[in-house]
Chain A
Amino acid sequence: AQSVTQLGSHVSVSEGALVLLRCNYSSSVPPYLFWYVQYPNQGLQLLLKYTTGATLVKGINGFEAEFKKSETSFHLTKPSAHMSDAAEYFCAVSGGSNYKLTFGKGTLLTVNP
């Protein structure tokens, strides 16, 4: 069984500040980990993914995440927030022969001018 916990349902930052969205996962098999972003009235857009190999993963729009097996974490960061980053962010896990994505509850990111 797999599960995802996103700490903080709502995160608010100032424009130009560091963005840190937290994700912890549980998986009985080596996990594949993903971050998706959802803008209002839209589907989910893939930001980045970790499957195997390098644990620091770079994605689109300046986002990156680090897979830490010992901490079962996959936190999402961006050095400098932009107004256009305001959206809801979802962490997801899949693994083994089960290709379904298990999502966290999401974190709503607000960026203040």
Chain B
Amino acid sequence: KAGVTQTPRYLIKTRGQQVTLSCSPISGHRSVSWYQQTPGQGLQFLFEYFSETQRNKGNFPGRFSGRQFSNSRSEMNVSTLELGDSALYLCASSLGEGGEQYFGPGTRLTVT
């Protein structure tokens, strides 16, 4: 089975711009979660989608949003980028019933 894929792998944006990151889960997985990883804050939960519905949301501003499509693929969007948004954004998929999550390689976002 193919693993979780994320595109793009690297991205450089300017403050004020917006960005969209994409995640394709493992085939058959209906839950997709997003995490932000930074040296200072570590791994922080952004949100989780299951069957196109946001089921859980972390403590991030409204500039961070996401969605899930009927094929379980997910996108997250960050608007009005700030320097502090520079991070590794990780997507994880699971069957959705509290089981293990499988992570993609991440998208490294740099905001200048």
Q: Is the CB of B103 within 8 A of A44?
A: yes
How would you classify the secondary structure of chain A's contact residues: helix, strand, loop or mixed?
A: strand
Contacts of B56 in A (CB 8 A): 98-100
Q: How far is the CA of A1 from the CA of B100 in the complex (A)?
A: 19
A44-B90 in contact (CB<8A): yes
Q: Is A36 an interface residue (CB 8 A)?
A: yes
CA distance A99 to B31 in the complex (A): 10
Q: In the complex, how many angstroms separate the beta carbon of A91 from the nearest chain B beta carbon?
A: 11
B90 smallest CB distance to A (angstroms): 6
DSSP class of B's interface residues: helix, strand, loop or mixed?
A: strand
**How many residue pairs between the two chains, A and B, have CB atoms under 8 Å in the bound complex?**
55
Confirm or deny: A43 has a beta carbon within 8 angstroms of a beta carbon on chain B.
yes
Q: How far is the CA of A101 from the CA of B4 in the complex (A)?
A: 17
Distance, CA A74 to CA B22, complexed state (A)? 33
Contacts of A26 in B (CB 8 A): none
Could you say which of B48, B58, B104 contacts A43, with CB atoms under 8 Å apart?
B104
Minimum CB–CB distance for B106 against chain A, Å: 5
Closest A residue to B44 by beta carbon equals: A103
Q: Which partner residue on chain B sits nearest A102 by CB separation?
A: B45
Q: Which 5 A-B pairs have the closest CB atoms?
A: A43-B103, A103-B43, A44-B103, A100-B45, A43-B105
Point out residues on A near B: beta carbons under 8 Å. Answer: 32, 34, 36, 42-46, 49, 51, 90, 94-95, 98-106
Add 4 more A-B contacts to A42-B106, A99-B96, A100-B58 (CB < 8 A).
A46-B102, A100-B45, A101-B35, A106-B42
